[in-house]
A and B are shown apart, each in its own frame.
Chain A
């Protein structure tokens, strides 16, 4: 580079002139060239290094009609017969019912009951948006009060649902909301999603403990109180965090329900404990 005796370039740059002197234009051209290489490289690297996203599905814009028995406790489900299951031993699966937005289904169900009367022991037809992941399905009641399309007496073929007790367990996992986790958001867990999970659970969506065992197996557990009561408000501080939870495990068709012993005493796992668990796995 040519400079004068003070080390400055001999010409002088003034932005409002039509052209920059060559002494200034050349290095700027090099900077632009560098950016032309750097910008795509950064875009590629930042995408490529992401941890990836689950293959959970939210059928946005596509409404599905389901018919089955409305279950209110401990959380709202629609219990539907499994297709092609033997008539003498019918199988059922449950679809978790979730309200529109970041809300539970209770308010919407109350609207239905205001219109149709008690839905206890009734077969209802519900239209909503399906959300599913890893054998768990939920239905967003997108049309809210209009989502309930038919109400009919419960046929005798629909067995009285029971919850099978599986004993006491201690589980470690992240508390999240099933709506986002099962497909509405990608990712529907982890730190960036924590605030959203808090809002969903504060809005009445049942909390879900998602457990990964380190061998590629994972499962979700709906969390309720020891007597099946809702514990959403009590566990808000632990939402989006890794916790250790103790309680009584029950199976309701294809869903696992964890009746948490002491919801206010969930053990939040520290980072060093998490690291040890990861190493053990």
Chain B
């Protein structure tokens, strides 16, 4: 939410985040390389680099993938999510070092071009157990590259949040490719059960946390299924919503955040214009809906970011009849002002 362009809007929390991340990465590499040369002196430098960077990148990818569901399960982990893109770009750089060294080591100075060699040296594409594992790593790196290259808000704005988010969801495809890359590659040689066990724990942790977060998120979300009256659907009792907080609804495929504040009710899209963050898990601060992910703000009455910012989200009509809240799930164009429903006893006839 920048008024003036700056490549990275640094602040204290981002600096702390990056310093901690860099420190942990350096700690891992120093310990791995030192121990590797001490315990296995015959090893070559190239193999140390390939193994140190591959294991570090895979570890970082697991951390990246568990941050999202952890925050959905307990929002006290939100500071981990705030600067996650720096973690992602760093992970890509580490993975790229692994890839460059692997291609140099295994595919250069041969009778064909290194990229041709990558895809043609092993040809058993019809076999599951013998499937060439290196092309899997190549495609995973390609996905990670596209994600790292488009991680900046410049691309988010130009691609649109929906496209950007869809693109970045391909991290799960990259993860699946990397798991297969590891399982069909190094695990065929390093047969210690600890290796297979660690990867199993990693896959189970990532998938388990995602399933749990989806289940709990679904339980928190309202799914009103009463018939519509005059286009409005009864969604909840007004007392179910805390002051300055929201309930999230899924009605007719619309993901809606219903906020209660200052004796009023307003409904807007639950998806932040920035990274599709869950606005319904945010809070009204200084009169603005504030996204829990990166602090983007919108006025609840019209879904517009306060000037001079220009982000806008869809708005919905809301009514309060007695203590029952009614929402019309037909979205209005982003930034369309809506009269907030007042918290007083009224009837639909009164409003008409």
Contact = CB atoms under 8 A, between A and B. Distances in A.
Interface in A39-60: 39-40, 42-56, 58
B16 to A, nearest CB: 9
Contact of B129 (A39, A46, A47, A271): A271
Interface in B159-195: 184-186, 188-192, 194-195
Interface residues on A, range: 35 or more
Nearest to B55: A46
A122 interface: no
Contacts of B77: 27-28, 31
A27 B82 CA distance: 15
B13 A43 contact: no
Given A5-B242, A203-B110, A52 B40 contact: yes
A196 B32 contact: no
Contact of A191 (B14, B185, B194, B292): B185
Interface in B19-42: 20, 24, 27-28, 31-32, 35-36, 39-40, 42
A80 interface: no
A240 B189 CA distance: 11
A157 to B, nearest CB: 37
A36 B24 contact: yes
A43 B31 contact: yes
B110 A42 contact: no
Nearest to A197: B121
Interface in A8-29: 8-9, 12-20, 23-28
A238 to B, nearest CB: 11
A9 B121 contact: no
Given A15-B295, A31-B77, A101-B110, A51 B191 contact: yes
A32 interface: yes
Contacts of A101: 108-110
B328 interface: no
Given A20-B79, A195-B122, A203-B110, A49 B192 contact: yes
A259 B135 CA distance: 34
Contacts of B75: 8-9, 13
A118 B42 CA distance: 40
B277 to A, nearest CB: 11
Contacts of B132: 195
A203 B117 CA distance: 12
Contact of A18 (B12, B35, B83): B12
B110 A186 contact: no
A43 B32 contact: yes
Interface in B244-295: 245, 282-283, 285, 290, 292-295
B11 A16 contact: yes
A86 interface: no
Interface residues of B, number: 73
A154 interface: no
A44 B79 CA distance: 28
B88 to A, nearest CB: 16
B80 interface: yes
Nearest to A191: B188
Given A49-B195, A237-B123, A40 B295 contact: no
Q: Could you say which of A4, A190, A199 has the most chain B C-beta atoms within 10 Å of its C-beta?
A: A199
Contacts of A13: 75-76, 78-79, 82, 292
A236 B42 CA distance: 28
Given A5-B242, A8-B242, A28-B80, A194 B111 contact: no
Given A24-B76, A56-B42, A198 B122 contact: yes
A58 B43 CA distance: 11
Contact of B107 (A42, A187, A196): A196
A193 B39 contact: no
Ranked nearest first, the 4 interchain pairs of A and B with the lowest CB-CB distance are: A101-B109, A15-B82, A195-B121, A191-B188
Interface of A: 1, 4-6, 8-9, 12-20, 23-28, 31-32, 35-36, 39-40, 42-56, 58, 100-103, 185-187, 190-196, 198-200, 202-204, 237, 240-241, 271
8 contacts: A6-B242, A9-B75, A15-B293, A28-B77, A43-B32, A47-B39, A185-B46, A196-B106
